[in-house]
Amino acid sequence: MQKFEIKNRYGLKIVGGIKQPEFSTGIVFIVHGLAGYKEELSICKMTDIFLDNKYTVVVYDSTHARGESDGEYENTTAQKRYDDLCDVIIWAKSQKWYIEPFVLVGMSLGGYVVTKYSEDNIEKVKAVFPFATTISGEITVATMREFKPEKLKNWKESGSFIHISKSQSGLELKLPWHYIEELITHDLRPNASKITMPILFMVGENDDSCPSKYQKILWDLIPKNPLNEFHIVEGAPHTFREEIHIQKLGNLLDNWLKKI
């Protein structure tokens, strides 16, 4: 993978990587989730699938995340994640391999980011895959109230939440309540009618962070398209880590890509 480093609009370093097939027919930008990073198993799997389908793949660590880019996790906001994607795309536009329209993929909070970009830039996006996407701050709070009421209560009362990484032993990430207050200002639903390009929804059956019943709220607002697909992966949680779920992700994505 060819590494790149750029500065975002706030002067912070974004670190990413590019993989190119011998003959590229398009580009995909892949955005990780809130506590994610560019080397996650699911991102690696999707990278391979897109390469097999002749796409140039651009992945990066968002700022204020756990990867190589600058910033502190506790300063994360949905707007900053969105701005990072915009800045990466602006940089990519200056590269000789840049092609429009392109495909966007995002996981969880990254799903919100790529779907919002698609709403704002219809002509630039060929297709979008919001994987177990965040839909709005309101729905995020409703989900926590339903599935994780103690976490919600303690987070608000204490002013912060400590995320303990399942993929990196000993890593603890602190997120202030301000993250939720800022997220409340974001919502994909009002402009869902602008999602006229093909869209792939995928969510784990046991996802208690962005469950399928809330994903369907957004799905029902999007204009019908014969290339749109909605899949619930049996037995899978919010973040796919088991091989059976990673393989299912790859198969569903590959089948969809061959149609669009």
In the predicted structure, residue 164 carries a pLDDT above the cut 90: no
Q: List pLDDT tens digits, range 24-39.
A: 999 999 999 999 999 9
Q: Within 13 Å of residue 107, how many CA atoms lie on the same side as its CB? A: 27
Residue 244's pLDDT band (boundaries 50, 70, 90)?
very high
CA 222 – CA 44 distance, rounded (Å): 29
Is the pLDDT reported for residue 168 higher than 90? no
Half-sphere exposure at residue 186, Cβ-oriented, CA atoms within 13 angstroms: 27
Are 61 and 15 in contact, with CB atoms under 8 Å apart?
A: yes
Residues 6+ apart with CB under 8 A from 189: 135, 136, 217, 218, 221
Supply the Cα-derived Rg of the chain in whole angstroms. 17
d(Cα 57, Cα 8) in Å, to the nearest integer?
Answer: 20
Q: What is the pTM of this model?
A: 0.96
pLDDT tens by residue, 43-60: 999 999 999 999 999 999
When the candidates are 1.20.120.80, 3.40.50.1820, 2.60.40.1180, 3.40.50.300, the CATH number that belongs to 2-135+188-257 is 3.40.50.1820
Q: Specify the DSSP element, H or E, that contains 244.
A: helix 243-257
Give residues with Cβ within 8 angstroms of 192, minimum separation 6. 119, 218, 221, 222
* Residue type at 29 in one-letter notation: F
Place of tokens 């329209």: 101
Which residue in the block uniquely carries the two structure tokens 């660590």?
61
Listed by start position, the domains of the chain span 2-135+188-257
